[in-house]
Structures are given as C-alpha cells and as structure tokens.
C-alpha cells in the first residue's frame, strides 16, 4: 500500500503507515522531505516491518508519474490501497482582504496532489480492486466553519468532489474511493500550534478508520465522506 504525506514524527502519516505495517502490509511511505520520510521508514524497518521510502513533489506531474512507475515495478503493478494524506493548512483571512497566492498554494498542495496521485496510482489499485482514501476536513461538512479559511476549505471541497468522481467512475471496476473529514487531530504540530486544551481526535483513531476503509469489511462503502471526531 502507498501512504503519501509522511513527514516528521508525531504526525498522522506516521500513525497510518505504522498501523498497516504492524499488520503485515508492505508500505511505501511518500514524502517531500527526504530526511523525514527516511527516518519514518527506518523506524519500521528496525522493527522488522516491510517498508520503503520514496521522495516526490506530488504537485509535479512528472514526479508523480515516476513515483507510480517505481511502485509498479516493485509490486508487479498491484497496490491494495492508496492513502492520500499529503496537503497542508493556511489561514487566508477574509476573502476581501485575502492573498491570492494562498488560494493557489492551497489548491496545489491539497487538490492537485490528490488528483495527480489518484490518476497515477489508479491502474495499480484497479489490479487489486482496492481502495483509495483521501483526507478532507470538518470545514467541508454541513455547517462547517469556513470563515477566514476559504482557500483551505475550497481546496478540501475539491478533494471531496474528486473522491466522488472516482467512486462513480471506478466503482464498477471494484475500486472504492472515500474521504475522511477529521476534526483537529492530536498531532505534534497541532499540539505545538494550538495547545492541549482542544477537543482532538487521536492519530490512532484516525489510522483505525483508514484501515477499516481499506479492509474487506468496507467493501460496500464507496463515495462516502466520513466524519472523524
């Protein structure tokens, strides 16, 4: 399986990759920071798990194509799941006073990376009738707070639409596509920026939900946006 957006310790990517690896999956960890993704991979290898580190800018079409080719060659063209965690958050402020560059960046790191990754890995996921899991945000849920974060919320809404398109297009081929909309996750970065007095969802609970969506137990679940809190 492939997990994108794996970075420093204490983040969601680490928890998801670890959960799958501990259950025997061969995990390809993808990140932009070579030092960090290598460190996460080496931890798994040291524990006797099957893991490989790959470095790519997922907003670069050519880099993503090369990444998928490497995974295809290593797996015989068969990937059971793609978990797309790559992305990022930035407050854009009120629309009238916002910086257009933030809009572009948020779409690049959230929506474009999701699109390019899904497009590149779909042939490999089709081969196993596998699963794709995207990460959205509670901001895209009905009544979600989007004031001051229009760029981020719009980009994550695009991810949800992408997920639903794939669910409809690929469902007949046995591929299922879903997205998770978490509240604030208890990560090292969030603890640092928001403190401990926040109603977090744990990394482990999020990882458990991802694992379920990729399991045979969730074969009938397709095109769903699932709240994680």
How many of the other CB atoms lie within 10 Å of CB of 33? 13
Q: Torsions phi, psi of 168, nearest 5?
A: -75, -40
The pLDDT tens digits of the residues spanning 96-137 come to 999 999 999 999 999 999 999 999 999 999 999 999 999 999
Q: What tokens were used for 210? A: 């991802």
Question: Could you tell me the sign of the dihedral formed by the alpha carbons of 55, 161, 156, 99, in that order?
Answer: positive
The pLDDT tens digits of the residues spanning 128-178 come to 999 999 999 999 999 999 999 999 999 999 999 999 999 999 999 999 999
The two most distant CA atoms of the chain are separated, in Å, by 53
| Domains of the chain: total | 1
User: What percentage of the chain reaches a pLDDT higher than 70?
Assistant: 93
Please report, for the domain that includes residue 120, its CATH number: 3.40.50.720
Which domain covers residue 190, as residue numbers? 2-228
In the sheet with 51-55, reading across from the earlier edge strand, the strands are: 51-55, 27-31, 2-4, 81-84, 131-135, 176-182, 225-228
Q: What tokens were used for 127? A: 């081969």
């Amino acid at each position: 399986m492939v997990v994108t957006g794996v970075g420093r310790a204490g983040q969601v990517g680490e928890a998801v990759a670890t959960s799958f690896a501990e259950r025997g999956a061969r995990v390809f960890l993808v990140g932009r920071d070579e030092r960090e993704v290598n460190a996460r991979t080496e931890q798994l290898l040291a524990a006797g798990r099957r893991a490989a580190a790959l470095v790519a800018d997922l907003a670069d079409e050519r880099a993503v194509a090369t990444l998928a080719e490497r995974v295809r060659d290593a797996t015989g063209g068969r990937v059971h799941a793609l978990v797309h965690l790559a992305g990022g958050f930035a407050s854009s402020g009120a629309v009238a006073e916002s910086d257009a560059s933030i809009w572009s960046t948020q779409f690049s790191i959230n929506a474009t990376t999701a699109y390019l990754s899904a497009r590149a890995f779909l042939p490999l996921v089709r081969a196993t009738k596998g699963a794709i899991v995207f990460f959205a945000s509670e901001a895209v849920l009905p009544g979600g707070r989007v004031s001051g974060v229009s760029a981020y919320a719009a980009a994550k809404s695009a991810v949800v639409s992408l997920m639903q398109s794939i669910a409809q297009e690929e469902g007949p081929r046995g591929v299922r596509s879903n997205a998770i909309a978490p509240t604030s996750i208890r990560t090292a970065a969030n603890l640092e920026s928001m403190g401990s007095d926040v109603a977090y969802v744990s990394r482990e609970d999020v990882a458990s939900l991802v694992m379920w969506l990729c399991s045979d137990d969730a074969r009938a679940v397709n095109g769903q946006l699932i709240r994680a809190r």
